[in-house]
Structure 1
Amino acid sequence: MGPVMRKMPTKLWVLLLFHLTALWNTTDAQIRYTIPEELKEGSIVGNIAKDLNLEVAEISDRRLRIASDSGKQYFDVNLGKGDLIVNQRIDREELCGQSSSCLLPLEMIIENPLNLYRVEIEIQDINDNYPVFQTREHILNIAESTVPGARFRLESAQDSDVGSHSLRSYTLSKNGHFILDVKTNKDGTKLPELVLEKSLDREKETVHTLLLTAIDGGSPERSGTAEITVRVLDINDNAPVFDKAVYDVQLQENTALGVVVVTVKAVDQDEGLNAEIMYSFGPHTTEALHELFSVDTATGEVKVKNQVDYESGSSYKFDIVARDKGVPAMEGLCSIHLDILDINDNVPEIILKSLPSPVREDAPVGTVVALISAKDVDTGDNGRVILSLAPGLPFTLKPSISNNYALVTGATLDREMNPTFMVEIRASDSGSPPLTSKKNIKVDVLDVNDNPPVFAQSLYTVYVQENSAAGSILCSVSASDSDLGENAKITYSVINSKGGDIPISSYAYINSENGTVFSMHSFDYEKIKVFQFLVQAKDQGSPSLSSNATVHVFIQDQNDNVPTVIYPSAVLGSVSHQRMPRSAKTGHLVTKVTAVDADSGHNAWISYRLAEATDSSLFAVNLYTGEVRTKRSVSEQDDSSQRLLIEIKDNGEPVQSTTVTVDILIEDGLHEPISDFRQKATEKDKKKSKITFYLILSLASVSVLSLVTFFILLIKCARDSRDNGSCCISRDSDGYKNPNRNLQIQLNTDGPIKYVEVLGGDMMSQSQSFGSYLSPVSEFSDLTFVKPSSTLDFKDTLRGLDASLPDSAWTFESQQQLNSCL
């Protein structure tokens, strides 16, 4: 196989080597490809999609890309086929120098979700470099007295290739005096030496020209030559000789300037000037070494001249020449191998492989936020980096491949509490003492619709005057949402419900943007006294969230009803005709005017006044009961026809009033027999006593029932107030109802407003809002019990009214509250 391969053209051999070595293997979750250097651009390294177990369409959709640690982008990915291809020429010697192994690490990043793969490309050497001598012409001065067997160190050739392609051997052109001896150092380098085999004779031949050839191990082999000119001297025939041919030295980086690295020593067997030695760097020492170190010409001390950095160079090889002062001068050569020891002088570096992605507040634990890596140019423990996070953050670091980490969520996030996190990442190496660094990463939390709107109040209480104009503002409700954007944009609506049998939409309208509630029409207290509805606040999130608030609307009474005369009835005509005997005495009850007012409270308090009279000295009208009685006894001189104009007024503002006309005919001889009168009086007294007994019994029963009901409602309201923040006890009256009806108790427990109403009476009686009347003329007494939550003291009110109102007529009113949204 060897001869066949030698005959094969170089280009074909390279392609065959590529196809044989472009194999991959996975070690520690890594992919490795092996390729020769100097491949053409577009050459395929391998199918990265297949080797990563990814579909070809998937690597394009998830935007697979290469992040190289080097400054050049040597490779690219064909997203259409999934192939990893060569992007530019690769020079192994430029990348790895003389290192036997040349690995080019690549990091493949793929998104959605973020993931990182490490790929290593092993670059194999090809025989593309010739062995090269730094000096193509080398002159040796050898005294003619030099005995055979003397050795002369020659310059080594340099071959940038490695392995089998590196320098393998030297050859020397044929001559009659010298042979070539090649020694191998511990590191494998070969040192050519010229050995004198036969004594020189200057008189026969003063100059010998030799050709030194360096040959590498490639196939085909490559070679380089140098010309050696030997001048035969007949003076100063001993060259300086070092005590060591090679000095192995170790030096710690950052050593102080002026420190002696090594002291070399050479000895010359000659005497006088021929034995005086001066030391200097070899002729091929680089400028970089001249900048770092210096050599004392007299003592041979090699000293630190500038700061030595391990990261710039971990080892140095150079020669020291010892030259005597003879004529011609003789010189000796030694090599120094200097290894630099690393110290922990580099702070670890934190590298963001990808910009941090905003994360939703409902993201599950373990969501990848960013890819991070750590780097320290030191070696060993000094370069071993550990990443950590500042405590108290809902994030964790998940280790990946080769000092790579994924920043992931470690707990549930809440944007309303923390919309942004400044994540502090700490890097610490394992040196002694350790060095640390920090890097802050800003992570934004994206809002999701997880907060419903919240009303400023769960219950709104509104008081509105009746007869207020349609379209007037009832109140304004307000809700807030702690989310952002559309998730916090609120619209208001009235939930379709009914106030009685009428939809709420006919009562109230709400502005969907600002929550202002308007009345749809003018309210009549006599038809509706209270209603409630639900207001909904709904955000614009997806899915949307909502909450409700209850609005209680209380209609406040206005004095918009004129008192209505019940007796004398208008059916009988506009004028009431009454008769009385001329024998009537003072205080004789002529008639009783009875009126009611559809309003309530103060607006329904009625008073009677005698506006006009034929003889104002004869009659008087009771201010509160409407009873018309004689002020004195009727005389013979009084006219038999008397006309009274009685004005009936309420207690509202402004005052509403009406009048009734009563014609009284005074007749002579109009009287009843005493016996009949006494009999009727006795029967009437008995009837009244019976009625009084029933009334007292009923009143006591009603009082007990009312107190029990009141306490039950008070306890229920106290419980409801914990949930609704309000408890209202009120009365619902539609004015005069159902004449000829005895005592009635109404308990309304429907809805959030609860009240007790006690009614009773006949056609002559009146049922007033917040009032109670005991009429001596009525056949049955009236009683109305109202809510006990008045701001007036109930007992004091009863006492005051009892003292001020005649004929046992008393009334009680509760103060109204202001019209506002509480």
Structure 2
Amino acid sequence: HSRWQAQMAFSKTVYSFQLKEDTMPTVVGKLEAKMEFPTPITYSVQEDDGENMFLLNPISGEFLLSRNLDFETQRFYILTVEGQQGDLQASSARVYFNVLDVNDNPPVFSRSNYFASLLEDTRVRTCFLSLNVSDKDDENGQVELMVASGDELGMFFIHSAGILCLNKELDRESQASFNLTVTVNDCALPVTSQLTSTAHIVVIVEDINDNAPLFLSAKHVSIPEDSALHSVIMTVHAEDKDAGSNAEILYFLSNTSRGTFSIDDRSGETFLEEILDREKMDTLNITVIATDMGSPQMTSTMTFMVHVEDVNDNEPVFSQSNYSLLIKEDVRRGTILIHVKAWDQDIGLNGLVRYMLTPVGPFVVDRVRGVLYIMDKLDREKNSNYTLILTAVDQGDVPRSATTVVSITVLDVNDVTPLFSPETLIIHVKENEINPSELTYQVSALDQDLGINSQLHYFIHKDKSDGLFSVTPDGAFKILHSLDREKESFYVVIITAADSLPPLTGTLTIHVLVDDVNDNPPEFSEDLYNTIVSEDSPIGTVFAMISAFDADEG
């Protein structure tokens, strides 16, 4: 060995190998030595900072990659290797393994979820959230950021410095929060090799007092006029699209309500403070002011119309408390006697009046119009006065009514015939009265009419007894001459009673019977009678008939 005093030599004193970090375990390099002698060379690793990442084949001098590389963990490895050939002095060399970066790490956000809040009046182009993106790769570490979803209106953009910025004006009332998904991708080529990461950002839009309260209540409300004092007639409701104290609402009444109503400033319940009377005022206005609690405060005003609904609290009222009528008894059926009207201050069915008449009689009332008719024939002589109760009734659920008195006086017409009772009179008169004119009889007929219609005068129908009897206009029946029964023993006298014009008449039949007195001597039928009697006539034989006649009777 001393003879050679030689040393084996590597072909290079420094070896350098470049490996992509995604290289799979395989032979990645080989040592080469100058072979001056055929003796085999043995290779060994003297220094290794890779913890056997690279295994050296002692015979072939090949390096075998034992496990996966990671550029981001360790970018190069330095090994010191030695070669020994027989008894020659060993030789060493440096071996460098340079790990080349490949795009195997996606860019990452510093956080997977971000939270930010903005006042809704934040100015456009204000940048407010740094996203802090990093990429462990080297050459592939340039990144691009974009809002991937949750921003359909384009409200945001990402500044090149990686800061989220406002692109359009905010309106919390339209959208109070945004759930954004942002993506970052590296700029590796080809594009298909680019890696991407995502993060979620919640942007809360903080309220400012930029909305006045908005009334949602109906502008019209109806309440019965008998609503109880302090009862709730309606609940006013307004909403404020703002949030928090900006949306808290207080309610007030303007002075236009004149104390008729009050309101709870928190709940909006509106109370009745005065008795209502629809007949005096059927519509009331309430002006309500809604004020929020923001700073500065914002207010809204609305006027509500309160319609007072009718209740049946009024009776019908007749124009007169009583009516007096004068009608003739011969008035025709169907004749209108009077049109009576009752008014009811209520409305609807409560103010709809219908009429009723009592008692039942010859009169009838039109239920709707209040017209009083005569329906049956009148007879003053049977009933000269009527007192009717006319009732007006409204049509409310609990009807209310009023009455008036209709007094009817039936006026007389000359419709009743004078009537003698009895209609036949028998008078006995002795014949040959010395002063027959003193024989006076009062005849009288009854006429049930009134006044001039009942004033009668009497007269005798002319007949064969004309001149023997008379009657005065007031009904004094007289015998004017003495009577002779033997001449006429029976007289029939017709006396008529007549009333006013045109006259109605009644008759009395008087039978005058002349009573006999002995005022006639008997008279023989012959002044001289001649007869023949046989001398041998037996005693008792009738031989003549002698007769006498007396004009008297009895």
Interval of TM-score (by shorter of Structure 1 and Structure 2): 0.5 to 0.7
1:242 corresponds in structure 2 to 10
The answer as to 2:191 corresponding to 1:446 is no
- The aligned amino acid for 1:277 is I
Counterpart Cα distance in 2 of 1:446 and 1:547: 23
2:287 to 524, 534, 541: 534
Q: Which residue of 2 aligns with 1:281?
A: 45
Equivalent of 2:224, from 465, 470, 484?
465
Matches within 5 A, 1:242-321: 242-267=10-35, 275-282=39-46, 285-286=47-48, 288-321=49-82
Equivalent-residue separation in structure 2 for 1:255 and 1:520 (angstroms): 92
Is 1:395 aligned to 2:140, yes or no?
A: no
Does residue 655 (structure 1) correspond to residue 400 (structure 2)? The answer is yes
Q: Which residue among 373, 377, 380 is the counterpart of 2:132?
A: 373
| Secondary structure class of the residue paired with 2:157 | strand
Deviation at 1:635, TM superposition (A): 4.0
Measured in 2, the distance between the counterparts of 1:579 and 1:437 equals: 108
Alignment match of 2:175 (pick from 407, 410, 418): 418
Match of 1:384 among 142, 150, 153: 142
Q: Deviation per CA, 1:256-308: give whole Å up to 9, x if none.
A: 22313132214456x8xxx55322223xx13x335111222223223323333
1:64-463 to 2 correspondences below 5 Å? 234=2, 237-267=5-35, 275-282=39-46, 285-286=47-48, 288-326=49-87, 330-351=89-110, 356-380=115-139, 382-390=140-148, 392=152, 393-400=154-161, 405-432=162-189, 433-456=193-216, 458-462=218-222
Higher relative contact order (CA 8 A, sep 6+): 2
Structure richer in strand, relative to its length: 2
Q: Which residue of 1 aligns with 2:422?
A: none
Whether contact under 8 Å (2:112, 2:200) holds in the other structure is no
Q: Deviations over 1:488-527 (max 9, x none)?
A: 33444444325xxxx2x41x33444444443333322221
Structure 1 residue 332: Cα displacement: 2.0
Structure 1, residues 695-747: CA drift from partner, whole Å, max 9, x if none? xxxxxxxxxxxxxxxxxxxxxxxxxxxxxxxxxxxxxxxxxxxxxxxxxxxxx
- Structure-2 change in CA distance of 1:353 and 1:430 (3 Å): same
Deviations along 1:585-613, one digit per CA (max 9) or x if unpaired, are: 3259887766544334444455555546x
Deviation at 1:370, TM superposition (A): 1.2
Letter in 2 for 1:655: R
Greater mean deviation of Cα atoms: 620-629 or 330-339: 620-629
Partner deviation per Cα, 1:569-591 (whole Å, 9 max, x = no partner): xxxxxx77x6858x653259887
Q: Does the CA-based 8 Å contact 1:458-1:548 persist in structure 2?
A: no
Do 2:320 and 2:404's aligned partners in 1 also have CA atoms closer than 8 Å? no
Are the equivalent residues in 1 in contact too, given 2:314–2:400 (CA < 8 A)?
no
Counterpart Cα distance in 1 of 2:326 and 2:136: 130
Query: What are structure 2's unaligned runs of at least 5 residues?
Result: 413-449, 454-554
- 1:646-705 CA distance string (max 9 Å, x none): 33323233231234374859695599xxxxxxxxxxxxxxxxxxxxxxxxxxxxxxxxxx
Contact 2:27 2:62 in 1 (8 A): no
Q: Distance in 2 between matches of 1:590 and 1:251?
A: 130
Pair 1:373–1:567, CA change in 2 (3 A): closer
Instruction: Rate the CA distance shift 1:412–1:609 in 2: closer, same or farther, 3 A.
Output: closer
**Which one has the bigger helix percentage?**
1
Answer yes or no: is the 8 Å Cα contact 2:107–2:197 preserved in 1: yes
**CA distance in 2 between partners of 1:606 and 1:311 (Å):** 103
Counterpart secondary structure, 1:497 = helix
Q: Which amino acid aligns with 2:390?
A: E
In structure 2, C-alpha distance between the alignment counterparts of 1:317 and 1:649, rounded to whole Å:
124
2:504 maps to what in 1? Answer: none
Q: Which residue of 1 aligns with 2:426?
A: none
Contiguous gaps of at least 5 residues in structure 1: 1-142, 144-233, 569-574, 672-822
Q: Distance in 2 between matches of 1:236 and 1:378?
A: 52
Partners of 2:8 and 2:33 within 8 A in 1: no
Report the CA distance shift for 1:388/1:638 in structure 2 as closer, same or farther (over 3 A). Answer: closer
Deviation of residue 631 (structure 1)?
5.7
Aligned to 2:284, what secondary structure does the other structure show? strand
d(CA) in 2 for partners of 1:534 and 1:670? 77
Residue type matched to 1:252 in 2? K
TM-score, length basis structure 1 = 0.43
Partner residue, 2:255: 496
Count, aligned residues = 405
Q: How does 1:673-688 map to 2 (within 5 A)?
A: none
Structure 2 CA distance for aligned equivalents of residues 655 and 378 of structure 1: 98
The amino acid across from 2:24 in the alignment is A
Q: Which residue of 1 aligns with 2:346?
A: 599
- Helix, strand or coil at the partner of 2:255: coil
Taking the aligned partners of 1:250 and 1:608, their CA distance within structure 2 comes to: 121
- From 331, 334, 338, the equivalent of 1:586 is 331
Answer yes or no: is 1:484 the counterpart of 2:243: yes
Paired letter, 1:253: E
Give the aligned partner of residue 431 of structure 2: none
One-letter amino acid matched to 2:44:
S
Once superposed, what is the RMSD of the aligned Cα atoms?
3.8
Contact 1:580–1:670 (Cα < 8 Å) also in 2: no
Q: Deviations over 1:4-44 (max 9, x none)?
A: xxxxxxxxxxxxxxxxxxxxxxxxxxxxxxxxxxxxxxxxx
Counterparts of 1:372 and 1:413 in 2: how far apart (Å)? 21
Higher radius of gyration, 1 or 2: 2
Cα 1:300/1:364, change in 2 over 3 Å: same
Partners of 2:125 and 2:5 lie apart in 1 by 81
Distance 1:566 1:299, change over 3 A: closer
Check conservation: 2:315, 2:394, Cα contact below 8 A: no
1:562 is paired with a residue of what secondary structure? coil
Seq. identity, %: 27
